[in-house]
Structure 1
Amino acid sequence: MQEIEVFRTNVTCRRVAAGLLRQLLARYPAWGITFDLTDCDRVLRVQTPGCPIDSATIIHVLQASGYLCEPLPE
């Protein structure tokens, strides 16, 4: 079963989003990771092929780059 988690971010630039995606996909190449910068929450969506999502690392990667990242409530 696939796992999905959605995060609120403050990323507004496509170039920044692309760089963050590269960092995340380098760690998790089999995961589906996308940004929706048109959404009011600047959504980062993470989908895994059945393994648990490492939310702490996802949040850390964005925060280390100076961006907000927090899970959206279900």
Structure 2
Amino acid sequence: MNVLIFSTDVSAPEQVSKVQPVLSAVPAISDWNIDLEDCDKILRVVSNDLSPRYIETLLNNAGFNCTELEY
């Protein structure tokens, strides 16, 4: 499993509720979470097969900024 890490502009539980169906609909994602306490509103996605660009596109299409963080 790979953990992909992104900076987002998801800043409230209501926004997490909008992201939830988008990410949960992708079978290749085994787990994900957003740290609303972090200044970068970190999204962590656990998957084997997905590219970071795919996740960025999903969130961008849902109306959120999402940028992969190098680690």
Corresponding pairs, count:
71
Q: Which moved more, 1:23-32 or 1:9-18?
A: 23-32
TM-score by length of 1: 0.82
| Aligned ranges 1:1-74 → 2 under 5 Å | 2-28=1-27, 30-48=29-47, 51-74=48-71
The structure 1 segments of at least 4 consecutive aligned residues displaced by more than 2 Å after TM superposition are: none
Structure number with higher strand proportion: 2
Determine what percentage of the aligned residue pairs are the same residue: 25
TM-score by length of 2: 0.85
Could you say what the CA RMSD is over the residues aligned between the two structures, in angstroms? 1.5
For structure 1, the residue ranges without an aligned partner over 5 or more in a row are none
For structure 2, the residue ranges without an aligned partner over 5 or more in a row are none
